[in-house]
Every structure is written in C-alpha cells, then in structure tokens.
Chain A
Amino acid sequence: MTTVTNMPLSDLLKSFKLKTKQQELLIRVSILCLVYILAFITRLFSVLRYESMIHEFDPYFNYRTTLYLTQNGFYDFWNWFDYESWYPLGRIVGGTLYPGLMVTAVLIYRILHFLRFAVHIREVCVLTAPFFASNTTLVAYFFGKEIWDTGAGLVAAILIAICPGYISRSVAGSYDNEGVAIFALLFTFYLFVKAVNTGSLAWSLASAFGYFYMVSAWGGYVFIINLIPLYVLVLLITGRYSMRLYVAYNCMYVLGMLLAMQIRFVGFQHVQSGEHMAAMGVFFLMQVFYFLDWVKHMLSDTKLFQAFLRITVTCAVVVGTIALGLGMLSGYISPWTGRFYSLLDPTYAKDHIPIIASVSEHQPTAWSSFMFDYHILLFLFPAGLYFCFKRLSDATIFIVMYGLTSMYFAGVMVRLILVATPAVCLISAIAVSATVKNLTVLLRSKNKGVLTGSTKGSSSSRASSKALLDQSQPFQKNGAIALLFGAFYLLSKYATHCTWVTSEAYSSPSIVLAARGAHGNRVIFDDYREAYFWLRQNTPVDAKVMSWWDYGYQITAMGNRTVIVDNNTWNNTHIATVGRALSSYEDEAIEIMRSLDVDYVLVVFGGVTGYSSDDINKFLWMVRIGGGVFPVIKEPDYLVNGEYRVDKGAAPKMLNCLMYKLCYYRFGEMLTEYGKPPGYDRARGVEIGNKDIKLEHLEEAFTTSNWIVRIYKVKPPNNRW
C-alpha cells in the first residue's frame, strides 16, 4: 500500500531534484543571502540596547547636514554657509565636506518615499552603515572569487560580515563617512582588479566611478590613489606589465581624476598636491613604458634599443624631477600635509600637531586592539599571505600589497584598522578556504589513493606537512578530521568573539551612558541630551555656546545653537583661543569670551558619576593646543613636578583656571560617595583642592541631573554707575 502511494511522490521529487551545479548555486546564493542578513542584524545591537539614534560626535554633523539636504535640496546644500558653527568665522559647509554619505542617505530616503515608505530621515541615517556593510559582504564575495575562488569569496563574506574591526565603524547609528567608504574602497579595488584581470574598458570605467564615489565619501581615498600606483609600479618592476594593466590603470586614473575634481572639497588636488603626485608619476611612467615597448617592437636591434632606453629613461626622470621641483618651488604643488606625514611617521603628530594627536582614535594601535578587532584573523593573515605567494597572480599581488600597506597604517593609527580589515578578511579567507578545501579533498579521496598523493602536494602548510608525515599511515584521515574540527572550533570562537565584542564594546552610542546600578539594574545617564535639549528650548535662538571642540557638532545638531569651535578643527588658532580662555583665570577669560560674543559656556564633568572622558581629563590637551598658539599658556604651570593633579597638591594656576572653576563650582558641597568627604571626585578618585569657588562673571545656568554637563551663562557687564 505505502509503496504504491509513495511512488508518484518520489517521482515528483525526482523531477525536482537539482543537478549538482544547481545545488551548489542554490547553497551559495542562500549562504550569501544569510550572510547579507547577518551582517545587517549583527549591527543592530545598539538599536536593541538603546534606541534608533545617531552615535558619537561626527555622525551628528553628518546627520545635521543630511537633514539640511532633505529640507533645502541639493543646490542650497552645496552653497550652504553655516553661520552656526565657528562663530564668528562660519564654515563653508558645501566646500569642506565629503558629500557622498549625505547624498547616499537622501537618495535612499527619496527612493523609499517614492515607494511610499514613509520613513523618517533619521531611520535612514541610522541604518545606512549596516546596509552598506551588508553590501560590502557581497563585494568581498566577488573580490574573493576574483582573487582565489568562490569558496574563498564565501568565507571572506562571512569573515567581513562579523569582523569587529569593521563593525566598530558600521553599527546602526554610526552614521559616518567610513560606513559607506569601506564599501566604496573595496568596491573600487575589486573593480580595478577585475579590470586588470580582464583588460576590459568597461570594468576600468566602473572602477573609475567607484573611485569617484569613494572620493565623494571619505578622505581615505588618498589611500586608493597611492596604493594603485604602487601596485602598478610593483607589477612593472616584477615584469608583469601587460596591455590589460595599461588599459585598466590609464582609464581608471584619467577618468577617476576628472571625476574626483567635481567634488569641491577635493578640487584640483589631484594635480596640485604632493599626496597625489605618485599616481601622476606612475601614469607618465606607464606612457614611457608603453612607448618603449612600442619602440622595442619597431626596433629589431637590441643594442640600439638599449641606448635608446637609457636616453629615454634619463630624459623622463630628469623632466619629471624638474617638473616636480618647479611645481614645488612655485607653490603650485603643495607639499604633503601634516596628516599625511603623521601617517608615515607615527611620532610626527605628537611633536608638531597636538590637535591631531589629542584625538584618541589617532593614537598608535596597541597589540590588544589588534587582537580585539581581528581575533583569529591575526594568525590567519600570515597563512593567507603564504597561500597568496604560492599562487602568485596579478590579483593576489594586489591583495598582498593592500594587506601589507594597510596593516602598516593600522599600526600607526587606531582608526585605520578599519581600512586594513577588508584585506585581512580576504587574505584570511584564502587561508581558511584553501586549508579546509585541502582537508576535505583529503577526506573524500580516500578510495582513490593515487589522487590523495597528488592533492597533498598543493595543500595547505599544516595539511601538507601532516600528510607528508603520514603518507603511508592510516591516521591521515583522522588527522584531517582533527584539523577540520580544530578549524571549525577556531571559526566558531571567532564568531562568538565577534558577537561579544559587538554587543559589549561597539554598540554604545556614547551619548547615552549606561551603567549597572547597585541592584544589578541598568542605570541610564542621559545627561548629554538633557543639556542639549535644555539649550535648544530655553536659550535665545542666537545664543553662542563655547565648549571644547569635541562637543561642537552635538551642540549644533541637538542643541541647535551656535558654537565657537567644533569637531571640524579647520582653524587651529580659533581652537587655541578657546583653549586659552578655558585655561586662563576668570578675569582674563572673560575678555576672550566677550570678544567672541560668548553667551554660554558648556563643560563636561564626570566627577559625580565617575565618567572619565570629561573635560578635566582632556584639559592638558586644551593647555597644549592653547599654548601652541599663545605662549602665555605654559603647560608646566598646570603641573606639579610633571604630575597632573586636581587635589590640594595641585598647581595654583590649575586650581584657579576657568575650566577647574566651572567643573567644580559648588562641587565642594556635594557628597558623592558614602564614607568620603564632600567634594570627592569619583572620576579621579581624589578630594578636590579648591572647594570655595566664586564666580564673578559667570553664573550657573543649568546642570544636568548627574552633573555630567554643566552650562554657565556669561553675565552682562556691570553698569559703570
């Protein structure tokens, strides 16, 4: 009975049965879809833990400009002169930002509204970075496929989807340039490698547009415009010059350069700045190379060609050097900027540009953060490099160079770990894929003993050494199984580590602080928004707020008030003036503040809650930056025997400077911790040195419920009679 009824069903199933190739495609597509979704949802921890909000500092500026773009349209955005920041100078926003991110978000917003999805622009901004991270996984798949095979592509997609190094800058709410730029970077590289591999003008053109998008999105495009020429140069030196390379590079460079000039912030830098000269030099070198190739083809005489070669190369080098020298001397070509120098020489910023060195994400990377952000990829990376060298091709040379250079930069600056992440993931993916593939081949080809031997030769380091040892032993299969289990164990550890890091470390918006209460409950400190909203609602519309530059973007975006300096840091003198005001005595500071029309002063103070990244801890940087421009401010005045203190033993200048007064005003009456004297600073763990603070020209206007933000009003000058 049962067999009779089952017959047609099994027939039906058989007719639906897919061929092996189709099965493989189905599995691949479904894995990619899952990875795509995974990359998106793993970045939503911050929304679940907190809310759908914009994080940190710079994203608030991006959000504000995006809002402006949605409300006023593109032309107004392009011509926007923002008088709410850098008072009284203002800022030409359209000409001093990379518009790629905002335009992308608004485009998504418009498309969604066209499709009748009535979402708020904030939601679009919050989810832009995860969306692009998902797209990056697809690019990583295709890139991996291009340089190795589909397996490596899939592994690369999975690795990059959850790699903490990338998640750190692409969680939901982290609405920053890097969010889309990493996608653009990898996409440009992929298209370029594809163009080099195929020699197709279409791919090259596509990579030029990818480059254009990258230029519009992030200043890190300089990495592309230097890495690609370097790569071309390496190919030329190693004798891998080909017509494909010629087509790919020339088309990409010329078009990419022309397109990049359309971005106002970049302008003519491609022909005028020292950082972009390498690309131009390589471009001319390519022409010389091509010319020589042609001459060689025409001339049959080798000796004659050698002479010709010598003359041409000398001439080209001389002409190039003279052009460069003239350009430099006449000032047409600008020298390298400080930021560029600080990348090449990690100690440069510390000595010359304190404003760059003061940012925590510009510090040299510690080993622990490599471990934190890469986990097992750190060990897989060298293995992958080994595989790449074993199967050297144009594409693998590229990924090797990308990996090595970006790893160097990642070592120089913490934030550049982000740039290295795609390369590390791709190279590690090659290692994983090649190893696992070799091991499975070993396992499956047990019946065919001959084949095992042949595959062993080209298999992974671990597998091959193992295999060589056990060539005639029966444990070969067991060894492979053990290694496979080991690999899966490591990969699963990687997955748990990534999830843990994402949920614990990288999903905090840093606007809202969360802590554990005495009973294990979650306590939220929402003081920043409390203060900003107070500013927004209860101060005059044209009030000017002075604060350290870190909070500038947030005050303009959330508080909607004019600030003196903000995170753009384009004018060091202006920042130094604010630093000087904050580190002077009150009666000196009031002169500076009156000259800047300051109405309110905002300081961040963590003494009550134990929040350590407050203004007192940043204060030495204010002194340094202020002192860099105004020599009246001297760092040793604020230190006692080279030590930075706020307690009774602190330097007298420290105890009476404006920043100290504003932070600790009436703090001496406050009992912060049980069993400690009043005025006990929990962030520094000391009792403050000056408890009797009188303010003459300022008055307390608002202090948030946990004292994290304190706002003071500048009193109008007294009447003379």
Chain B
Amino acid sequence: MEAPIRATHILGFALFFLLFFVCRSSPLHDLLISSAERRIDLTSHIVKVYLTLKVENAGSSPTSEILLAFPPTQVDHLATVEALVTKGKRKKTTLVRLDVKPTELPDAPNGTKYFTIYLANPLNSGESTTLEVLYLFTHSLEPFPAEIGQSESQLVYYRDSALILSPYHIKQQTTFIKTPSTKVESFTRVEPTNRAGTEMKYGPYEDHPPYSSSPILIHFENNSPFPVVEELVREVEISHWGNLQVTEQYTLVHGGARHKGVFSRVEYQSRPTLSGTSSLRYLLARLPPRVHSVYYRDEIGNISSSHLRTDSRKSELEIEPRYPLFGGWKATFIIGYGLPLQDFLFESSDDRRYLNFTFGCPLLETVVDKLTVKVVLPEGSKDPSAVVPFPVEQHLETKYSYLDVVGRTVVVMEKKNLVPSHNSHFQVHYTFKPIFMLAEPLMLASAFFLFFVACVAYLHIDLSIRK
C-alpha cells in the first residue's frame, strides 16, 4: 500500500518542479514573437480583436504552451478567446481549434491575467508556428458624452494599448483599428500612426521587450445601437409527445449613451436619419427552422409588431419593442416558440436520450450579461447530465407544470457575459422510460371515469331522508 502512494507523491513533486521550471524560465524567455498583427474591429458594440502571432521557439527545450496576457481592466470584459492554428501547406490549409484556458501565474506584473494556448504538437526549439487568436470584449466602449439628446450622435471612447501586451519579446508588431465611420474626434498618436478612411494603423513597432505597453484613447462616432440583454432566462421544455417548447425572457437595455431631455415623436418620425440615429428600433432573432407557434409578449400582453420569416434552413423573427429604445431605456419581453422534437432530441447508444440545443441568445449582435438556460425534462426522467463546451454553473431544480405529481427535473445552467459566438450546441443526457408518457392521459381518463361513475351512482342512489 505504501509504495504506490509514495510513487504518486514523487511523481507529483516531479511534475510540480517541471511545471515550475517550464513556467519560470523556458516559455517566458525562450519563446519570442517574431511578428504580430492585430486588427481591432470597433464597428459594433462588441469589440472584436483578431491577432496573428508568429511564435518562435528560441530556447532549447520543446514547449506546447503559449501565454496570452491581458490587463485586468480588459479581462473583466473579455467574453471569449479562441485560438486557431493553420495546418497543411499552401492550398490545403485547414484551421484547427486549440484549447485555451485561463491561467494564474504567481508573479504577474500589475495584476496581468493570462490565458494559455495549448498547442496540439509541441514546438521544438528553432521551430516557429503561426497562431490566429480571436477575442471579444463587451462593454468596452464608453460613451462620451455619457448623455446625449435625441438629435445628437453617439460618441464613444475606446481604450487600449498601441503595443500588444505580451510576456514575450515581440520583434515586430502592427495594430489596425477599424472604426464604424470616418468621424473620429481624436486619437492618441504613437508614432508611426496613420489614419486612412475608417482605418487607423499603429506601427509597425520594432523590438519591444515583454510587458511593454503604450496606452491609447480613441474617441469616435459609433451610432449603432448597443443592445444589451441584462438578463435572459431560456426555458426549454421537452415533451415526448413531439414538441419542444422554448420560452425566453429578456431584460433588454440600450447600453449606449443615455438619453437626455426631450423625446419628440414628430422629429423622430419626420427625420429618421438625423434624429435618434442610435436608437434601437428593431431586433433580429435567428430561430431554428420549422419553428411554430411563435409569440412575442410582455407582462401586459401581446406585442403586435413582429414579423416571422421562415425557410428550410432558418427562421428569422424580427421584433420591434413597444417603443424605440434610446440610451438607458429598458424593455422586458418574452419570446416563445415550439419546435419539432425530432430535430433536437436523439437517442444515444447507451439507451439514454439527449437534447442537442444551442446555448446562447438568438438575438443577433447582442451582449448577454447573464444567461440562465433551464432544460425542463419530462416527468419521470432520471440521471440528467449536461455537456457544455465552456464552463458554466449548474444545478438542478424541480418544476411543476400541467398535471405534474412529482414534478419535472430542471437542469439549470448559468453563464455571465455572453456574445453571439457562444451560440454553440450543448447536450443534456437523461434516461426516460416511455411508459411515463402515458401517466398524464391515464390520470385524466381515470378522473373522468370516476366523475361519470359518481354521476351514475348519484342518479341511482336515493339519498333522501324521508321515505
């Protein structure tokens, strides 16, 4: 008994030291980025950053981990990080997705946060590889002025660094920033800086040591509305009678510059291009194909301004809130729809069933601050387990719906700060015996039967006291 434990201990220590060694010395100092190109897209309120890194292993030992660094202010707004590597030669290139995980390093300068990209094949010494990294920030455009009138356009600040924050030495780097329009109030110059049309170019900068940065501030016009769903609760109810009922409760807010003063309908109607340009007039939701019985309502009733377009591949629901949303205005509403069950529910090999459904918010170009997905399993289901491609908080609940006796198991998944790229599929596995499907019809039938028996009995029994 003793020996194996000791063996694992030793192995653990050895691994720890190895890791320490790896972290401390080799990747930080032996890797270097020979060229980096960053493209920041500021056209919508979700900031998209495309980073192309050419990483070179200048050290002696092979490594398979590459670190990305973010300042702490950005990390709070970071919605997603993806890393891809190109494989193949010339024409037959394919992109392979790599694992990215948040990492803590003990002595990060100024609270820098790290993400580690795990390469599929270790990078041997002297070799180099090209990584494509995409990350998205939400709530990173700060409206300034913070309050605008109806006819003013929306100006925002974007803060970043002209130099890419990295734990590695960067030999050459360039940053391109794309603004939605040519109207840029001001921007920080870090020579060489060029501006042409809607694009700004910072760089190229040569040979910057690790952790160098140079803050920049861009003040520009962004008149697109900032639809932010503060809270979204999606409830997916499975009925084995062939229907999947989805109910989505939205708390929508316009996250742009707050509306100030008068709202004049006459101007809004007569000069739509000048007045209330950043207001949120409608939203587009992309729903699965073969959707039916769609409704759009709120606490006080149906909202009549919605249009549904369906074709064989997708359904699009265009919804208008009851009133145009100006900055800071809120609206809550509910969208509900039914879907054919066979498109989403499958049987796995081990006699279990699983639901395969999209996780995120169906509204396009929308940030979701907090998303709760509830999967209501049919009554009598057992052993639920959820498989989600990214970390979420999970717990179970019980819900009582029509004619439920023991209640339905609800798998609840919660996640914060979502962007449309989180609309990937997740699975919920569970076991269910088809006999439970008959429970409710049988209950109803027996209730009616008892009622009729009672009627018959009442008609045939004389209950009068007097004879």
List residues of chain A with CB under 8 Å of any chain B CB: 51, 53, 116-118, 511-512, 524, 526, 529-530, 532-534, 536-538, 558, 666-667, 669-670, 699-705, 707
Contact = CB atoms under 8 A, between A and B. Distances in A.
A44 to B, nearest CB: 16
Contacts of B23: none
Contact of B303 (A526, A666, A667): A526
Contacts of A538: 328-330
Contact of A529 (B300, B329, B330, B401): B300
Nearest to A703: B265
A117 B403 contact: yes
A530 B266 CA distance: 17
B331 A537 contact: yes
Contacts of A530: 322-323
B332 interface: yes
A529 B323 CA distance: 10
Given A118-B401, A701-B262, A707-B265, A526 B323 contact: no
Interface in B300-325: 300-305, 322-323
B404 A116 contact: yes
Interface string B320-356: 0011000011111000000000000000000000000
Contacts of A667: 266
B263 A558 contact: no
A703 B263 contact: yes
Interface string B394-405: 000000111111
B298 interface: yes
B265 A533 contact: no
A529 B262 CA distance: 20
The 8 nearest A-B residue pairs measured at CB = A703-B265, A537-B330, A530-B322, A51-B302, A558-B300, A53-B301, A116-B403, A524-B304
A118 B403 CA distance: 8
Contact of A526 (B304, B330, B400, B403): B304
Given A53-B302, A534-B323, A701 B400 contact: no
Contacts of A118: 400-402, 404
B261 interface: yes
B60 interface: no
A537 B332 CA distance: 8
Nearest to A534: B323
A116 B322 contact: no
B266 A670 contact: yes
B301 A699 contact: no
Chain B CB count within 10 A is highest, among A532, A704, A705, for A705
B73 interface: no
A670 B262 CA distance: 17
Nearest to A558: B300
B259 to A, nearest CB: 9
7 contacts: A117-B403, A511-B301, A512-B301, A512-B304, A533-B300, A537-B331, A666-B264
Nearest to B305: A526
Contacts of A537: 329-332
Nearest to A527: B322
Interface in B258-311: 261-266, 270, 298-305
Interface residues of B, number: 28
Contacts of A117: 402-403
Given A511-B301, A529-B300, A536-B299, 18 more contacts: A51-B301, A116-B402, A118-B400, A512-B301, A524-B304, A529-B322, A532-B300, A533-B323, A537-B330, A538-B329, A538-B330, A669-B270, A670-B266, A701-B262, A701-B263, A702-B323, A703-B264, A707-B265
A12 to B, nearest CB: 21
Nearest to A557: B300
B298 A699 contact: no
Contacts of A669: 266, 270
A705 B265 contact: yes
Nearest to A117: B402
Given A534-B323, A537-B331, A666 B266 contact: yes
A67 to B, nearest CB: 10
B261 A699 contact: yes
Q: Which of B302, B305, B331, B332 has the most CB of A within 10 A?
A: B302
Contacts of B261: 699
Interface string B376-415: 0000000000000000000000001111110000000000
* Max count, chain A CB within 10 A of own CB: residue among B265, B303, B332: B265
B406 to A, nearest CB: 11
Contacts of A707: 265
A534 B266 contact: no
A529 B265 contact: no
A526 B306 CA distance: 13
A475 B264 CA distance: 78
Nearest to B302: A51
Nearest to A525: B304
Output the residue of A524, A532, A537 with the most chain B CB within 10 A: A537
Given A51-B302, A116-B400, A116-B403, A533 B266 contact: no
A530 B263 CA distance: 14
Q: Which of A51, A53, A511, A533 lies at the interface centre, i.e. has the most chain B CB atoms within 10 A of its CB?
A: A533
A704 B300 contact: no
A703 B264 CA distance: 7
Nearest to A522: B304
- Chain B CB count within 10 A is highest, among A512, A538, A701, for A538
A702 B402 contact: no
Nearest to B440: A116
Nearest to A537: B330
A116 B444 CA distance: 11
Given A524-B304, A533-B298, A699 B403 contact: no
A332 to B, nearest CB: 46
Nearest to B331: A537
Contacts of B305: 526
A157 B301 CA distance: 34
Contacts of B330: 537-538
B8 to A, nearest CB: 53
A707 B404 CA distance: 47
A501 B404 CA distance: 41
Contacts of B401: 118
A556 B379 CA distance: 39
B405 A116 contact: yes
B263 A700 contact: yes
Contacts of B304: 512, 524, 526
